[in-house]
Structure formats: structure tokens, C-alpha cells
Amino acid sequence: MGIDGKTLHKWYKEYLSGYNPEGEKQIHKHDVTIIKGSKESTIEVPILRRENIGQDMGIDEKMIGEQWYTVMTNRQTGKIAFCAATTKSSHLQQAMIPLVEELRKIETITRDMSAGYANLCGILMPGARQVIDKFHVISNLLDAQQAVRIRYRQQLLEQRRKAYQAFKLEEKQRLDICERSGERFKANKFTYQEARLSNGETPSELLARSHFLLYKFPHQWKPWQEKRARILFEKYPEIEHAYRLSCSFRKWYAKENIRKHRLQIEKELFQWYEDVEESTIEEMMNFKSLVESHEEEILAYFDQGHTNAISENRNSKINRFIVSNQGVRNRDFFFFRLSNFFS
């Protein structure tokens, strides 16, 4: 229609959207002032809706702009009930004071492994069953598995670095000899060759290109991935051991085991603990310790299969919302629209 984009945006913001001075005040109506010693700071609470709190809630962190926000979502309706510009438990407790009565009615709350959120849920939602979100557990598992591959790749890069340092030292010594003898110095070019494997790749290339196949189960591999995995596991048995332990845990954590007898679930988990102990793989031992410290909340998944999928889905929609609006230029107007769309 030949309308300038900035003009159209101004019309939409000031006339069509309903965003006016009164609407701007609503965004900051629930902000909280934090006083620590002589310092005073304000925590933004752009969304606080009692009516959106239900029996099943999810809490997660989300970066908007350059600030981390805590977002609480109703897992039944998908609507945002609370959003605040902080992830600190003490700050969130103050910001959630208007919601205290509603929070006590929550029956299940899904969250990540953050100690701050665990403390917050324990204090403000004493009757709620806390469930660690499956996505975060599996994410940590895959990070541990990939860390084994990365460790071997770093060892190869270290070998190359030491070879290059030795080459530079040799070149320096040769330069000194040429200067003393008056001979002309001609610099050599550094070359570093790795042995080629049966598929034509070097060990460094093999480790770099095996990244994605380790995320899949064996039956999901393409023929070329299966061939690469076979070569990888022959050369690095520890990576194979970590991969098998990872697959074993993921099968234990499968949705098919929801509502399985608690004793059977625990028995299989304790067997997995023993397998990890026997492997002595440091990265998998670290993940095992993480699971043990959150064992009760992880096992709670098998009662009803509660996950934070709605919250994660909401986060992805917020991402698309940010991209379609070309970032968060006007923070107040952004949260005004976010509130209208998602809460």
C-alpha cells in the first residue's frame, strides 16, 4: 500500500495494539524492589496472572534480549502465568508473593536441575510433586557422552600443537646456525600428517564427523554412519562403552516404562549405576552422580510421565516471536504483546 514500515509500526503501536500509557504502566505494576545493604535494584515482573495457575505447572529459564527470565507456564493450557527478570530463588520468592495462595494448590511442577528452582518450589509449593524434566536429564547425558569423544579429539589436537612447537624450535635453531655461518636461511613449511583409516578419514576427521551419529540409536544410523561408527568403536573402545551406557539409560527412561512398577524401575537404574562404576569412564561417572543427587525427582517421571515439553514449546514460540519482531527493541511494548499472545 506504499506505507512506510516505521510509520505502520508507529500506528500499530500507538493506535491499533491497545498499548497506551495505561497499558505501559500495567507491564511494571508487579515489579519488585530489592534492597541489599545500601544498594537498591528493581526486578521486572512483566507477566503475573493468577488465573493461569493450575494443578500442573512448569518452570524454566529463558533468555530474552540479554537478560535471563524465569517463566512459569500452565502445562494444561500452555499459558504463561508468571515471568520475571531473574533466576534467583530469593528474588523470585518476593516477586511471587501475590501468587502464594494459588501456588499452594499446584500438584505437580516440572523443572530443570537448578538448585534455585528446587528451593523455590519447596518453599512456595510445598504440596507439589517436583519432577525433573526429561529433556534436561537426557541433554546432560548426551553432553557427558560427547565429552568422551571431545576428550580424544583434544588429545589429537594437543599432539599436533606439540609437533608444531617442536617444528618452530627446530626452525629457530636452524635460523641461528645460518646466521652464525652466514648461510642463506630458507624457511620450511610445517606439515603434519595423520594416518588414514580404512574409510579414508584421519582420526581427527573421524572424531569430528562422528558427532551426530552418537545422538542416534544404532537402528537409526544410515549405512555410512554405521560404517563410520564401526571404525570409530574399533579405534576408540571407550567411546563405544560410553555410547552403550548412554543408550541403556535412554531405553530405561523411555515413555514405555511409565507406570511400570517402582521396584522394577529402581532395580534397572541401580544396575545401570553398577555398569557405570565398572566402566570407570570419568564423564559418565559425573553424570551418574548428577542422577543420584536428583534421583527422587527423576523417578517421579515414571508416575504419570510429566515433562516440561509445554514450557520448552512455549520457549521456542517466544524465540520465533522475537525473530519475527526483529529482536526486543522496545522491552515494554514487547512484553505487552507477549502477554497478549501467550498469557
pLDDT of residue 281: 95
Three-state SS letters, 190-218: CCCCCCCCCCCCCHHHHHHHCCCHHHCCH
For residues 335 and 266, state if they share a domain. Answer: no
For residues 102 and 226, state if they share a domain. Answer: no
pLDDT of residue 7: 83
| Contacts within 8 Å (CB) and 24+ apart, 221-228 | 227/199, 228/199, 228/201
Mean pLDDT for the stretch of residues 34-38: 79
Question: Where do we find the cell 537409526?
Answer: 220
For the segment 127-146, what is each residue's pLDDT rounded down to a tens digit?
999 999 999 999 999 999 99
Quickly count: other Cβ atoms within 10 Å of residue 1's Cβ.
Answer: 3
| Cα–Cα distance measured from residue 36 to residue 26, given in angstroms and rounded to the nearest whole number | 26
For residues 95 and 59, state if they share a domain. Answer: yes
Inside any domain, residue 275: yes
For residues 63 and 116, state if they share a domain. Answer: yes
Inside any domain, residue 2: no
For residues 87 and 102, state if they share a domain. Answer: yes
For residues 41 and 128, state if they share a domain. Answer: yes
pLDDT of residue 23: 61
| Cα–Cα distance measured from residue 242 to residue 283, given in angstroms and rounded to the nearest whole number | 9
Inside any domain, residue 11: no
Quickly count: other Cβ atoms within 10 Å of residue 131's Cβ.
Answer: 25
For residues 330 and 289, state if they share a domain. Answer: no
Inside any domain, residue 111: yes
| Cα–Cα distance measured from residue 273 to residue 232, given in angstroms and rounded to the nearest whole number | 25
User: Which is more confidently placed, 287 or 185?
Assistant: 287
Looking at every residue in the chain, the average pLDDT score rounds to 90
Is 144 in contact with 283 (CB distance < 8 Å)?
yes
* HSE toward the beta carbon, residue 338, CA cutoff 13 A: 32
Percent of the chain with pLDDT over 70: 97
Inside any domain, residue 179: no
pLDDT higher than 70, residue 291: yes
Inside any domain, residue 171: no
For residues 125 and 256, state if they share a domain. Answer: no
* Distance, C-alpha 269 to centroid of its chain: 23
Task: Classify 183 in phi/psi space as left (phi over 0), alpha (psi -120 to 50) or beta.
Answer: beta
Inside any domain, residue 6: no
pLDDT higher than 70, residue 22: no
For residues 24 and 113, state if they share a domain. Answer: yes
| Cα–Cα distance measured from residue 72 to residue 309, given in angstroms and rounded to the nearest whole number | 12
* HSE toward the beta carbon, residue 91, CA cutoff 13 A: 21
- Note down the domain range covering 77: 17-133+307-342
Question: Where do we find the cell 516505521?
Answer: 6
Instruction: Supply 191's cell numbers.
Output: 606439515
Mean pLDDT for the stretch of residues 44-67: 90
For residues 122 and 145, state if they share a domain. Answer: no
For the segment 240-267, what is each residue's pLDDT rounded down to a tens digit?
999 999 999 999 999 999 999 999 999 9
Where does residue 332 rank: exposed (0-12), middle (13-18), buried (19+ CB within 10 A)? middle
pTM, 2 dp:
0.85
For residues 147 and 61, state if they share a domain. Answer: no
For residues 118 and 267, state if they share a domain. Answer: no
pLDDT of residue 327: 63
Instruction: Supply 226's cell numbers.
Output: 554405521
Q: Which of 116-130, 225-239, 299-313 shows the lowest mean pLDDT across its residues? A: 299-313
Please report, for the domain that includes residue 335, its CATH number.
3.30.420.10
pLDDT of residue 189: 92
Inside any domain, residue 317: yes
Q: How many domains does the chain have?
A: 2
